[in-house]
């Protein structure tokens, strides 16, 4: 069989069929070459092209020819075919034999591959020390991949004592030879100050060098530099352009982050359908963040038809890869039976998976589970343990809940001052519940010096975040002039906001303002409306007030039986005066039932 070599001596392109133009140099003249005249490097060139064109059997045959001619690159590439199963069933042990043969001839690529096999237990028992021995020899002989892998060994402490300084030394050696992976790793060291002083400008420069070679990770990291303003001026439009280049180069992480840009409208016009498409590409490529983000869009029904089942599917995929946010989201689905059958034990399993990775939300939710005995045995001390860990990880919600434990003496000795300190920590991080709780301590003077103005300040902060309990408490301040000038109309407005947010005390308070005509136009119908809403949430004062309305026919037709039942319901909750009212109605009812044969007979027919 004849082959055709480009006549240009500086080119050397070899083809199985004569082309019109050389794809490498553009030449138009070719020399016919007999198969017997082909050298080892010629067969390697043909094998490499077969790999690029996805012709594995041809690639294997070409590398075998090169190896037969004692070409060390041919031997090494043949080993790679056996290691990876290219054109032949994988045989890692035989691959190691071939790598060792070429390594014995001081062929550094083969030596490096042999070290990689030792590092990962491919075809041989894992041996980090032997791996480092191979990498070091290759590195000292100037082979960039060996230098990079020796840097990796130092960064992880595998086969050597961990040393960021040594890692940087070898990453730099490989980076200066233009190896993109080494450039990216060295850039990361500069970005986070590992083994070198932190230098975001130098980090960006190195990422850019890798990116200019078309390296997907380099392209992605340049995009992130622009996205977050690290080493360059923040520029969302530039970030999108680089994310797109990285995505086109196959970076699943870039597909995900580009999806975020489209979801939020950062650097591009907001386009949820495009976000879904990008998240799906990333998710199907195994990117955990893309899977989690796609799950969230299915949960919220943004850009796709809402589906809890699909949300769970993608949360689970990311959770199984160890992503804490996905683990917490999946746990929440099990907690509330969304897309899966409700199962507290499974919820706890996934919260614990996240918590064991020091995830603040996972640890906080473990505290909640232990506090209420959900999926685990109720245990105040365990709840406090998890809250403390979450607090150490910066969870404002955990600061608030741990404050509650100290305020009430649950799992710890009661300490109102410590509660106030924790509430303040969380409040300053804009946790609405903590702001409200801190306001309450200032109202009551527990753990802090009593101060209505401070109470109002913190109630206001939480109310502005739409926190119903704070809106209600602030309404009380306006109704009675505590820390502010008395303004019942303002109180009514705040009660309404809180009641519409589901606060039962606020609904009852608003009902009372309508009953008395304070701050609003008097209206028994509206009073009953708001009392009834509060009663649905078992608010005892509302039960008592609505009972009074039924007893006297105010805003509702008079109904003594309903009144008595509501008084009794309030009495069961210990509401002052409710038991006396229920007893009074019972006595009044007994007198009415004793009013003659006909009345008693008719009452009996009604089941009284």
Hey, what are 26's tokens? 């553009």
Q: CA–CA separation, 417 vs 391, rounded Å? A: 17
Q: CA–CA separation, 139 vs 172, rounded Å? A: 12
Q: What is the pLDDT of residue 595?
A: 39
Per-residue pLDDT, averaged over 451-467, amounts to 98
Q: In total, how many domains does the chain have?
A: 2
User: In which band, very low, low, confident or very high, does the pLDDT at 224 lie, cut at 50, 70 and 90?
Assistant: very high
Domain membership flag for residue 520:
no
Catalogue the long-range contacts made by 266-273 (C-beta closer than 8 Å, 24 or more residues apart): 266/236, 266/239, 266/240, 267/235, 267/236, 267/237, 267/238, 267/239, 267/240, 268/237, 268/240, 272/297, 272/302, 272/303, 273/303
Domain membership flag for residue 411:
yes
User: In which band, very low, low, confident or very high, does the pLDDT at 585 lie, cut at 50, 70 and 90?
Assistant: confident
Among 394, 330, 331, 313, CA closest to 358: 394
Domain membership flag for residue 379:
yes
Q: CA–CA separation, 51 vs 84, rounded Å? A: 12
pLDDT digits (tens, 9 = 90+) for 72-84: 999 999 999 999 9
Q: What is the pLDDT of residue 134?
A: 98
Are the CB atoms for 463 and 494 separated by under 8 Å?
Answer: yes
Domain's final residue, options 403, 434, 465 = 465
CA angle 497, 499, 502 (to 5 degrees): 115
Domain membership flag for residue 602:
no
Q: CA–CA separation, 283 vs 439, rounded Å? A: 45
Domain's final residue, options 444, 465, 486 = 465
What is the pairing mode between strands 2-6 and 14-15? antiparallel
What letter does residue 3 receive in the DSSP assignment?
A: E
Question: What is the rounded radius of gyration, in angstroms, for the C-alpha atoms of the chain?
Answer: 37
In this prediction the pTM is 0.84
Furthest-apart CA pair in the chain: how many Å? 128
pLDDT digits (tens, 9 = 90+) for 351-360: 999 999 999 9
Q: CA–CA separation, 441 vs 434, rounded Å? A: 10
pLDDT higher than 60, residue 596: no
Per-residue pLDDT, averaged over 505-515, amounts to 97
Per-residue pLDDT, averaged over 247-259, amounts to 98
CATH code of the domain containing 383? 1.25.40.10
Are the CB atoms for 142 and 112 separated by under 8 Å?
Answer: no
Per-residue pLDDT, averaged over 557-562, amounts to 95
Per-residue pLDDT, averaged over 23-40, amounts to 90
Hey, what are 480's tokens? 């009675």
Domain membership flag for residue 542:
no
Q: CA–CA separation, 432 vs 444, rounded Å? A: 19
Hey, what are 529's tokens? 């409306």
Question: Which residues touch 396 (CB under 8 Å, ≥6 apart)?
Answer: 425, 426, 429, 430, 431, 434
User: In which band, very low, low, confident or very high, does the pLDDT at 299 lie, cut at 50, 70 and 90?
Assistant: very high
User: In which band, very low, low, confident or very high, does the pLDDT at 590 lie, cut at 50, 70 and 90?
Assistant: low
> Cα 603 vs. chain centroid, distance in angstroms?
64
Are the CB atoms for 232 and 221 separated by under 8 Å?
Answer: no
Per-residue pLDDT, averaged over 322-328, amounts to 98
pLDDT digits (tens, 9 = 90+) for 11-25: 889 988 888 899 988
Q: How far is CA 378 from CA 163, 358, 367, 410, in A?
A: 45, 22, 10, 12
Q: What is the pLDDT of residue 589?
A: 64
Domain membership flag for residue 426:
yes
DSSP three-state, residue 11: coil
How confident is the prediction for the chain on average, in pLDDT?
Answer: 95
Q: CA–CA separation, 257 vs 228, rounded Å? A: 12
Q: Which residue has the tokens 């209505």?
A: 452
Give the ranges where 141-213 is alpha helix by DSSP (H).
144-156, 164-175, 180-192, 200-211
Per-residue pLDDT, averaged over 158-164, amounts to 97
Q: CA–CA separation, 600 vs 607, rounded Å? A: 10
Find the range with the poorest average confidence among 255-259, 384-388, 592-596, 600-604.
Answer: 600-604
Are the CB atoms for 243 and 274 separated by under 8 Å?
Answer: no
Domain membership flag for residue 445:
yes
Per-residue pLDDT, averaged over 394-421, amounts to 98
Q: CA–CA separation, 405 vs 418, rounded Å? A: 10
Q: What is the pLDDT of residue 597?
A: 34
Q: Which domain holds residue 4?
A: 1-37
Q: CA–CA separation, 369 vs 421, rounded Å? A: 24
Per-residue pLDDT, averaged over 281-302, amounts to 98
């Amino acid at each position: 069989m004849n082959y055709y070599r480009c006549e240009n001596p500086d080119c050397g392109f070899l083809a199985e069929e004569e082309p019109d133009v050389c794809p490498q140099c553009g030449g138009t003249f070719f020399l016919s070459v007999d198969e017997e005249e082909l050298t080892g490097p010629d067969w390697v060139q043909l094998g490499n092209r077969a790999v690029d064109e996805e012709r594995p059997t041809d690639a294997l045959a070409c590398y075998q020819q090169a190896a037969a001619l004692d070409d060390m690159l041919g031997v090494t590439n043949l080993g790679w075919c056996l290691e990876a199963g290219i054109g032949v069933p994988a045989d890692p042990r035989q691959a190691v034999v071939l790598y060792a043969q070429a390594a014995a001839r001081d062929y550094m690529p083969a030596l490096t591959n042999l070290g990689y096999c030792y590092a990962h237990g491919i075809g041989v028992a894992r041996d980090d020390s032997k791996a480092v021995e191979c990498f070091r020899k290759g590195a000292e002989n100037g082979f960039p991949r060996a230098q990079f892998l020796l840097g990796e060994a130092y960064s992880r402490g595998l086969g050597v004592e961990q040393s960021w300084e040594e890692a940087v030394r070898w990453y730099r050696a490989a980076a200066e030879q233009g190896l993109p992976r080494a450039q990216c790793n060295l850039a990361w060291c500069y970005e986070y100050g590992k083994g070198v002083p932190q230098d975001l400008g130098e980090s960006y420069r190195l990422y850019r060098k890798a990116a200019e070679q078309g390296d997907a990770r380099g392209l992605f990291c340049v995009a992130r530099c622009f996205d977050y303003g690290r080493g360059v001026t923040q520029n969302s439009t530039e970030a999108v352009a680089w994310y797109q280049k990285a995505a086109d180069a196959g970076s699943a992480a870039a597909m995900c982050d580009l999806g975020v840009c489209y979801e939020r409208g950062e650097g591009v016009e907001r386009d949820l359908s495009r976000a879904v498409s990008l998240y799906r590409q990333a998710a199907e490529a195994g990117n955990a963040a893309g899977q989690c983000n796609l799950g969230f869009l299915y949960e919220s029904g943004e850009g796709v038809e809402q589906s809890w089942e699909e949300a769970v599917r993608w949360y689970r995929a990311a959770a199984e890869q160890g992503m804490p946010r996905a683990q917490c989201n999946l746990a929440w689905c099990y907690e509330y039976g969304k897309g899966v059958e409700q199962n507290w034990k499974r919820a706890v399993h996934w919260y614990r998976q996240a918590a064991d990775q020091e995830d603040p939300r996972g640890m906080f939710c473990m505290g909640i589970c232990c506090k209420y005995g959900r999926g685990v045995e109720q245990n105040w001390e365990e709840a406090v343990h998890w809250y403390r860990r979450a607090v150490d990880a910066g969870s404002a919600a955990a600061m608030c809940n741990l404050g509650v434990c100290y305020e009430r003496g649950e799992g710890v000795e009661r300490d109102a001052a410590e509660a106030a300190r924790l509430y303040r920590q969380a409040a300053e991080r804009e946790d609405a519940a903590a702001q409200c709780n801190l306001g309450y301590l200032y109202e009551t003077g527990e753990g802090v010096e009593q101060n209505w103005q401070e109470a109002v300040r913190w109630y206001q902060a939480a109310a502005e975040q739409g926190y119903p309990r704070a809106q209600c408490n602030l309404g009380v301040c306006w109704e009675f002039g505590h820390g502010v000038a008395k303004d019942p109309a303002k109180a009514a407005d705040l009660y309404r906001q809180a009641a519409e947010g589901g606060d039962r005390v606020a609904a009852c308070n608003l009902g009372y303002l309508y009953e008395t005509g304070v701050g609003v136009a008097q209206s028994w119908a509206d009073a009953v409306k708001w009392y009834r809403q509060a009663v649905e949430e078992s608010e005892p004062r509302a039960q008592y007030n609505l009972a009074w309305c039924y007893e006297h026919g105010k805003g509702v037709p008079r109904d003594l039986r309903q009144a008595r039942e509501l008084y009794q319901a309030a009495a069961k909750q210990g509401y002052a005066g409710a038991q006396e009212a229920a007893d009074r109605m019972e006595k009044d009812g007994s007198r009415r039932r004793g009013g003659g044969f006909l009345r008693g007979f008719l009452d009996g027919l009604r089941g009284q």
